[in-house]
């Protein structure tokens, strides 16, 4: 009995120590960031900037988020405001909620956050609004909160673009099948070949954006498919906690049996991992990839006919919209409820032109 009580007391002691250390660490981060913020004006060209905004990204190391941040940073410079990527200000892997608390405690002039619909995020956005700090939700929205605006993309429209590409791929497959039948290379069948389409969705997503996007894909396929098309759409959950889990989840798709004919990726990391898996498992030409974002790796894969097409997001526009919304809010006390960034489909026909445009813009 005494031994059991000793273990219980020991466990309680460790638990309390862990909580205390976590609180101390958070307080230390707030104090450090407040010190940085208090001296910010003097450290940035002697008070050139009127406002200090922070961005809390989904993944600060992702090239898409880096590009969005660069767009916001440049837009901020134009209106005498400084945008800081808060994820990159600390070595520790703090959650978005932790970073929101730090930003609120530091009394920044505005917050740009990759939000979700969790109750915790709602409370933090409302807390920031209560402190007079406007919050822009970026890429992921929280409609139940007091955020001032949402900057993102039209999920349904994006789904329609993917749906159109699925139909185009199926038509190409049918044309090749008819040609092969005419040459006597395959047996003619009255039954259409089933085309398996897999959409890779985030297993931990708490918003409806993915559902709306998938509805856009499904509706476009149902409205556009012709006689003889048998298309089956399935969703595959991918654990995107870190890059290793993503790679393992995607490799399981290829190892467990027949891979889907078409794989739709909804972020850059999934696109690159599927591309590598298709090459590693010798499925080039058998598995068509519809990707997301226009990184150099993805564009080169389109050139090599490994990735069928990808969707490019105007990240510079998206970042600029965030700053425009905060500027308008500080000036008038109000702003538009939604800002939607442009999207562009890149495939074999226009990839070289797109790469030239990117190279010219980088000069």
What is the CATH code for 2-147+316-343?
3.40.50.2300
pLDDT tens column, 68-98: 999 999 999 999 999 999 886 665 678 899 9
Q: Domain 155-313, what fold? A: Rossmann fold (3.40.50)
CA geometry: angle 67, 119, 242, nearest 5 deg: 45
pLDDT at 362 over 90: no
Q: Look at the pTM and tell me if it is higher than 0.95.
A: no
Is 218:180 a contact under the CB 8 Å cutoff? no
pLDDT tens-place string over residues 296-352? 999 999 999 999 999 999 999 999 999 999 999 999 999 999 999 999 999 999 999
Tokens for 253, please give them.
Answer: 């798709």
- In this structure, are residues 80 and 104 in contact, taking their beta carbons and an 8 Å threshold? no
DSSP for residue 144 = T
How large a percentage of the chain has pLDDT more than 90? 64
Same fold flag, 2-147+316-343 and 155-313: yes
Q: How confident is the model at residue 276 (pLDDT cuts 50, 70, 90)?
A: very high
pLDDT band at 3 (very low <50, low <70, confident <90, very high): very low
Q: Locate the domains of the chain by residue range.
A: 2-147+316-343, 155-313
Sign of CA dihedral 289, 295, 297, 300: positive
């Amino acid at each position: 009995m005494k031994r059991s009580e000793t273990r219980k007391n020991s466990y309680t002691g460790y638990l309390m120590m862990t909580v205390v250390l976590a609180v101390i660490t958070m307080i230390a981060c707030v104090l450090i960031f407040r010190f940085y913020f208090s001296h910010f004006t003097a450290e940035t060209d002697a008070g050139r900037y009127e406002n200090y905004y922070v961005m809390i990204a989904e993944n600060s190391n992702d090239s898409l988020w880096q590009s969005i941040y660069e767009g916001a940073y440049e837009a901020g410079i134009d209106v005498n405001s400084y945008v800081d990527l808060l994820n990159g200000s600390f070595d520790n892997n703090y959650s978005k909620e932790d970073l929101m608390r730090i930003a609120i405690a530091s009394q920044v002039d505005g917050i740009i956050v990759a939000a979700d619909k969790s109750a915790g995020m709602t409370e933090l956005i409302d807390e920031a609004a209560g402190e007079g700090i406007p919050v822009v939700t970026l890429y992921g929205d929280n409609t139940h909160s007091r955020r001032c605006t949402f900057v993102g993309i039209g999920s349904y429209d994006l789904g329609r673009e993917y749906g159109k590409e699925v139909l185009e791929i199926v038509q190409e497959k049918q044309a090749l099948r008819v040609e092969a039948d005419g040459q006597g290379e395959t047996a003619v069948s009255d039954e259409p070949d089933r085309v398996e389409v897999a959409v890779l969705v985030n297993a931990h997503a708490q918003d409806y954006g993915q559902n709306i996007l998938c509805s856009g894909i499904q509706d476009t396929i149902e409205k556009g498919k012709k006689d003889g098309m048998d298309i089956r759409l399935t969703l595959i959950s991918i654990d995107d906690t870190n890059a290793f889990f993503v790679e393992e989840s995607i490799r399981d798709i290829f190892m467990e049996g027949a891979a889907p004919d078409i794989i739709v990726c909804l972020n850059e990391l999934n696109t690159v991992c599927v591309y590598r898996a298709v090459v590693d498992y010798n499925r080039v030409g058998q598995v068509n990839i519809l990707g997301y974002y226009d990184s150099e790796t993805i564009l080169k894969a389109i050139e090599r006919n490994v990735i069928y097409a990808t969707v490019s997001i105007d990240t510079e526009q998206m970042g600029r919209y965030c700053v425009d919304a905060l500027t308008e809010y500080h000036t008038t006390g109000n702003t538009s409820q939604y800002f939607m960034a442009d999207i562009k489909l890149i495939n074999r026909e226009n990839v070289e032109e797109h790469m030239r445009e990117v190279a010219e813009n980088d000069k």
